[in-house]
Amino acid sequence: MTPADEATFGVLLDIDGVLYVGDEPIVGAHEALTQLREQSAGVRLVTNTTSRSRRDVVEHLRELGFEVSHEEVLTPAAMAVSHCEEHGYESVAMLVSEKLREDLAALKELKSGARADAVVLGDLGDGFTAEVLNGAFRQLMDGAELVSLQHNRYWRRKDGLALDVGAYAAALEFASGREGVVVGKPSEAFFKAAMSDIGLELAVMVGDDVEADVGGAMAAGLPGVLVRTGKFRQDALSERVTPTAIVDSIADFPDLLARIFQGSS
């Protein structure tokens, strides 16, 4: 096994569906995480969540027995803050859940009636009303940039399937005639930020979402490994993305990683 201080690669792990599903840790996930930290130059947990703050994500992981630090967890909200700061946006309209606001506290929220430089689009759930969408649309038509936390099509709620952020972004993009920027997975910037955080040019991404996790990583030039847990579906494999590798679960990934990088460092 390669000692961490000699490793030339990092490991990026999606969280929900890879380390746990709901309140149940994946069997062998705790041991796998420990092992991956020893094998690699660093592990970052990269999530597309729009319903939990980074603090909530870390707390939930700890409740399930995963020892993680805040610095190891990267969320699209943090990326949205960097994006807006880099572009010098002074006033931002936020369509995000209450829980996410603490992660966006560095941004100045729009005063009522003022013109926004950007519309940050997260998941408002039942807060997505025609009035809210029309308000965001008018900001876009007045020149604001659409900054979507992610661009997923839908997700499975307790009461059934529900439109996800990508669907509402699609409505606003179609109406305004302009594409927005996506700061979460599968955006290349998100993967680059995670690697720059580890300080290396190479990392292996592991996820249960064949498009956002695996496809996104591969488009950014990284190996993408799909797990057969979480939202994995056999029929999704016939789609546009061919993963670098597929494993039954995160428990099988350390062995695969050891074989991939055998003798390479």
Residues contributing to the site for its own copies (CB under 8 A): 124-131, 133-134, 137-138, 141, 153-154, 160-164, 166-168, 170-177
Burial 24-45 (b: 16+ CB within 10 A, else e): ebbebbbebbebbeebbbbbbb
Cis amide bond preceding 186, omega within 30: yes
Question: Between 39 and 176, whose beta carbon lies closer to its own copies?
Answer: 176
Q: Are 186 and 212 in contact (CB under 8 A)?
A: yes
Closest among 206, 207, 204, 216 to 240, alpha carbons compared: 216
Question: Between 162 and 202, whose beta carbon lies closer to its own copies?
Answer: 162
> Minimum distance from CB of 14 to its own copies (Å)?
21
> Minimum distance from CB of 198 to its own copies (Å)?
33
Residues 6+ apart with CB under 8 A from 259: none
Task: Please state whether beta strands 181-182 and 203-207 pair in parallel, antiparallel, or not at all (unpaired).
Answer: unpaired
Task: Please state whether beta strands 24-25 and 160-163 pair in parallel, antiparallel, or not at all (unpaired).
Answer: unpaired
Q: Are 140 and 172 in contact (CB under 8 A)?
A: yes
Distance separating alpha carbons of residues 68 and 45, to the nearest angstrom: 9
> Minimum distance from CB of 94 to its own copies (Å)?
17
Q: What are 101's strand-pairing partners?
A: none
> Minimum distance from CB of 120 to its own copies (Å)?
18
- Count the alpha carbons within 13 Å of 209 in the hemisphere toward its beta carbon: 21
The H or E element containing residue 64 is none
> Minimum distance from CB of 102 to its own copies (Å)?
23
Distance separating alpha carbons of residues 223 and 207, to the nearest angstrom: 11
> Minimum distance from CB of 253 to its own copies (Å)?
29
Eight-class DSSP state of 181: E
> Minimum distance from CB of 88 to its own copies (Å)?
26
Distance separating alpha carbons of residues 256 and 224, to the nearest angstrom: 12
Question: Between 8 and 129, whose beta carbon lies closer to its own copies?
Answer: 129
Question: Between 106 and 161, whose beta carbon lies closer to its own copies?
Answer: 161
